[in-house]
Amino acid sequence: MSEPVIILVRPQLVENIGMVARAMKNCALHQLRLVSPRDHWPLQQLQKERMEAAASGAEDIFANTRIFHTTADAVADMQTVYATTARPRDMVKEVITPRRAADEARTRIKAGEKIAFLFGPERTGLENEDLQCAEKIINIPANPDFSSINIAQAVLLMAYEWYTSGYEGPMCKMELGKTVPASKKELNSFFSRMESELEICGFYTNPDMKPAMQQNLRNAFLRASLTEQEIRTLQGVLTALADGPKRSRKVS
Amino acid sequence: MSEPVIILVRPQLVENIGMVARAMKNCALHQLRLVSPRDHWPLQQLQKERMEAAASGAEDIFANTRIFHTTADAVADMQTVYATTARPRDMVKEVITPRRAADEARTRIKAGEKIAFLFGPERTGLENEDLQCAEKIINIPANPDFSSINIAQAVLLMAYEWYTSGYEGPMCKMELGKTVPASKKELNSFFSRMESELEICGFYTNPDMKPAMQQNLRNAFLRASLTEQEIRTLQGVLTALADGPKRSRKVS
C-alpha cells in the first residue's frame, strides 16, 4: 500500500461519504474505511444512490471500502495514525499542520509504513477514545471565528496536501502551445524597427528623453515574454501603422 | 481591501454558491462577486433558503456579494486577476500552482494591489473570453485520471492556500495543557530508579547486555517527550510494581 488510508469515524450522512470519495479520487487516494457509519452497510438502494450521486464519478472507491465496528479495529494494521480535529483536548499530544503531516506520512510510507488519517463525525468530531488511537493530531489552519469545516472539505484539504507533497511539476510554467519564446535577435530586431519608425514619425520630441523612453518601452515588451509568433505579429502591426490608412479601405 | 476577491463566473447551482461562501469564511475571505448567475439575484425565497442552508453559517458573505453582467465588468477595478482552470488552452499564458498564486497575491496585496481569483461555471469551466481578463492561470494539481473538481472545492483549495500563505503558527507543537516537559534531572531520576528496581528483580540476566538494554529503554522513554506529571505517574507505576500485589486487594 503506497498511500495513506482515509478513515471516517461514525459518519452520519451518505452524501458526505460520497463527497469524501470524490475528494479522495481527485487526489489519487483509494483506500476508504468507515467506523460504524450511521446507515448500515450494505446501504439500502435509495441511500446508495444518494451517496453515488455525491461521489460524482468516484463510485469505484466504494468497491474497496471496508467497514469496522470500532476505531481501534479500523487502525489495527496501521503503524502511524493522524487524527484531524479542530478542538484542543485535555491530553498531551503533538499537534501538526496538514502540510507537515503530509510530508511526514510520505516519508513514512516510502519507508514501508502503513499510515491512516482519521476524521470524526459531522457534528461532534472525534472522541477522546478515538484520539487514543492516534500518534498525532492534525489541526487544519482556519479562520478562528468560523473554523467548522465540512468533513468532505477536511478530507479534501488533507488529501490535497498529500497529493501536492508528491507534486514534482513546476510551480510556474509559460503555456506556449506550438510556438517558442522569441530569441533576443528577434526581439532586438523588433525593438530597433519600432524605434526607427517612431523616429520617422517624430515621436521623440525631446531628444534628452529619448534614451529613457526607449528603455521603458523595451522593458514593457520584455515583461510580456513575447513568443516568436507574437514578434511576427507585432512586426506586422508596425508595418500596418507605418503605412497609415489604406486608401482602398472604406472608412465610414 | 486586504484580501483577494472571489469571482464566480456564471455559477449554475445556488447550493454551490452557498458552499463557496462557507469555504471563503473558513479561510477568512469575505468579498464575493457573481457574473451572470443562472438564477437571477435577488433570489426567490426557496432558492435563497437552499443557498443559505449550504452556506451553513456563512450567510453574512451574501450581504456584500456583488452581481455583474460580464467578467470584464467584474474585474474592472482589479489590478491582477488569476483564473482557475484545469484545461490547457490555445493561448500563451503563465500557468502557476495555487500555492505560488497565493504567495504572489499576498505580496501584491501587501503592496496595495487589488487581486481577484476567477472560477468558471460548473460544467463548462471558463471560456476564452473570461481568460482574456486574467494575467495568469492557476492549475490545481489533481489526479490526471479524475481532475474534475467541484467549484466549492476549488474555491476552498485556493482560499486555503491564501489562508496558509499567511499562517505564522508552528508547523508542529506539543499540546501540553497545564503541565510542562520533564527536566533532565526528573527524567534521570526516573531512569536510575527504574534501572535499580530492574536490577533487584533480576531483569538483567546477561550482564554484558545490560548497558545496551538500559540505553534502549532510556531511548524509548526519551522519544515519548514525557512531562513532569507523567514522570510522577511513572514513578508511582514503579512503586506499585515493585511493591507487588497488595494483600488487601481482593482478586477474583
**For residue B88, what pLDDT band results from cuts at 50, 70 and 90?**
low
Between the CA of residue B57 and those of A124, A150, B22, what are the distances in Å?
17, 12, 7
**For residue B186, what pLDDT band results from cuts at 50, 70 and 90?**
very high
Q: What is the pLDDT of residue B90?
A: 78
User: Is pLDDT above 60 for B248?
Assistant: no
Q: What is the pLDDT of residue B176?
A: 87
Contact B97 A171 (CB under 8 A): yes
Residues 6 or more apart in contact with residue B156 via CB below 8 angstroms: A153, A156, A157, B23, B26, B27
List the single range of A51-60, A239-248, B52-61, B178-187 with lowest mean pLDDT: A239-248
Facing residue for B156 by CB, picked from A57, A100, A153: A153
Query: For residue A95, which residues of chain B lie inside 8 Å, CB to CB?
Result: 172-175
Place of cell 538494554: B213
Q: Could you tell me the sign of the dihedral formed by the alpha carbons of B24, B28, B30, B35, in that order? A: negative
- How far is the C-alpha of B223 from the C-alpha of A234, rounded, in Å? 66
Query: For residue A148, which residues of chain B lie inside 8 Å, CB to CB?
Result: 26, 56-57
Provide the grid cell at B207. Answer: 550482564
Provide the grid cell at A66. Answer: 471496508
- How far is the C-alpha of B148 from the C-alpha of A23, rounded, in Å? 10
Burial label, A118 (beta-carbon count in 10 A; 0-12, 13-18, 19+): buried
Contact A167 B141 (CB under 8 A): yes
Query: Averaged over A170-195, what is the pLDDT?
Result: 93
Contact A173 B94 (CB under 8 A): yes
pTM here is: 0.92
Query: For residue A100, which residues of chain B lie inside 8 Å, CB to CB?
Result: 171-172
Q: What is the pLDDT of residue B148?
A: 87
Task: Give the gap in angstroms from C-alpha B143 to the nearest C-alpha of chain A.
Answer: 5
- How far is the C-alpha of B36 from the C-alpha of B167, rounded, in Å? 34
Contact A169 B96 (CB under 8 A): no
Contact B26 A95 (CB under 8 A): no
Query: Averaged over A36-43, what is the pLDDT?
Result: 97
User: Is pLDDT above 70 for B1?
Assistant: no
Query: Averaged over B151-167, what is the pLDDT?
Result: 96
Provide the grid cell at B250. Answer: 481482593
Query: For residue A22, which residues of chain B lie inside 8 Å, CB to CB?
Result: 150
Contact B167 A141 (CB under 8 A): yes
∠ CA A116-A118-A124 to the nearest 5 degrees? 175
Query: For residue A230, which residues of chain B lie inside 8 Å, CB to CB?
Result: 92
pLDDT in tens, A74-131: 999 999 999 998 665 678 899 999 999 999 999 999 999 999 999 999 988 999 999 9
What are the phi and psi torsion angles at A26 (to 5°)? -55, -30
- How far is the C-alpha of B117 from the C-alpha of B102, rounded, in Å? 10
Task: Give the gap in angstroms from C-alpha A205 to the nearest C-alpha of chain B.
Answer: 31
Query: Averaged over B73-81, what is the pLDDT?
Result: 97
Query: For residue A143, which residues of chain B lie inside 8 Å, CB to CB?
Result: 25-28, 163
pLDDT in tens, B100-144: 999 999 999 999 999 999 999 998 899 999 999 999 999 999 999
What integer best gives the mean pLDDT of chain B? Answer: 93
The residue in chain B having the minimum alpha-carbon distance to the alpha carbon of residue A100 is B171
The residue in chain A having the minimum alpha-carbon distance to the alpha carbon of residue B146 is A26
Q: What is the pLDDT of residue A33?
A: 98
Nearest to residue B68, comparing CAs of B9, B126, B112, B18? Answer: B9
User: Is pLDDT above 80 for B46?
Assistant: yes
What integer best gives the mean pLDDT of chain A? Answer: 93
Residues 6 or more apart in contact with residue A237 via CB below 8 angstroms: none
Q: What is the 3-state secondary structure (H, E, C) of chain A?
A: CCCCEEEEECCCCHHHHHHHHHHHHHCCCCCEEEECCCCCCCCCHHHHHHHHHHHCCCHHHHHCCEEECCHHHHCCCCCEEEEECCCCCCCCEEEECHHHHHHHHHHHHHCCCCEEEEECCCCCCCCHHHHCCCCEEECCCCCCCCCCCCHHHHHHHHHHHHHHHCCCCCCEEEECCCCCECCHHHHHHHHHHHHHHHHHCCCCCCHHHHHHHHHHHHHHHHHCCCEHHHHHHHHHHHHHHHHCCCCCCCCC
Q: What is the pLDDT of residue A178?
A: 86
Query: Averaged over A146-175, what is the pLDDT?
Result: 94
**For residue A151, what pLDDT band results from cuts at 50, 70 and 90?**
very high
Task: Give the gap in angstroms from C-alpha B252 to the nearest C-alpha of chain A.
Answer: 28
- Report the amino acid identity of residue A225: S
User: Is pLDDT above 70 for A1?
Assistant: no
User: Is pLDDT above 90 for A250?
Assistant: no
Query: For residue A19, which residues of chain B lie inside 8 Å, CB to CB?
Result: 150
Contact B94 A56 (CB under 8 A): no
- How far is the C-alpha of A83 from the C-alpha of A95, rounded, in Å? 9
∠ CA A234-A236-A237 to the nearest 5 degrees? 60
Query: Averaged over B140-155, what is the pLDDT?
Result: 94
Chain A, chain B: beta-carbon pairs less than 8 Å apart? 140
- Report the amino acid identity of residue A135: E
Q: What is the pLDDT of residue A251?
A: 52
CA quadruple A97, A103, A105, A107: dihedral, nearest 10: -150
pLDDT in tens, A211-221: 999 999 999 99
| Percentage of chain A modeled with pLDDT above 90 | 85
Provide the grid cell at B66. Answer: 456583488
Contact A153 B27 (CB under 8 A): no
Strand pairing category for A80-84 and A136-138: parallel
pLDDT in tens, B210-237: 999 999 999 999 999 999 999 999 999 9
User: Is pLDDT above 80 for A252?
Assistant: no
DSSP-derived 3-state class of residue B96: strand
